[in-house]
Amino acid sequence: MRYLSEEQLSVASRFLFLSMAIVVIQKDLQSIQTGSFKIKEPYTDLLGKMEQEAVAERRQLRSRMANEQLQVVSLNKNDSFSSFLFICQGREEKRNYFNPAIRKKVETILRELIQKAQQPHQHYSSTNT
């Protein structure tokens, strides 16, 4: 039974998988810093920018979720599936995800973050030029 709207589910899912992507980035950063890379800075710089982008987006999602009384709770995990409980204003919906599907979703987010991290940040002025 569906208790959450498509929009609520979309926001909560993005938050969940973005949080997982942040963990991957942090672990990769740690691996590079302690690994035997000859030149670490380009990799750590890219991962650092990706982490900044991800954390900023997650902060926005967390704020939106708080406003809508939306939560995601990890229930259990085995070799094949992970279960999460989505709670919104007292309504609950349990979702099971196939672990390889989670990996694909996180990989997609990592690719998006690479794209964002490589774009030059544009500062918009309030005057027209």
pLDDT in tens, 91-117: 899 999 999 999 999 999 999 999 999
Under a CB-based contact definition with an 8 Å cutoff, are residues 98 and 80 in contact?
A: yes
pTM for this prediction: 0.88
3-state SS record for 20-76: HHHHHHHHHHHHHHHCCCCCCHHHHHHHHHHHHHHHHHHHHHHHHHHHCCEEEEEEE
Interstrand relation of 91-98 and 70-77 (parallel, antiparallel or unpaired): unpaired
> Which residue do the tokens 């920018």 mark?
49
Q: Which residue has the higher pLDDT, 120 or 54?
A: 54
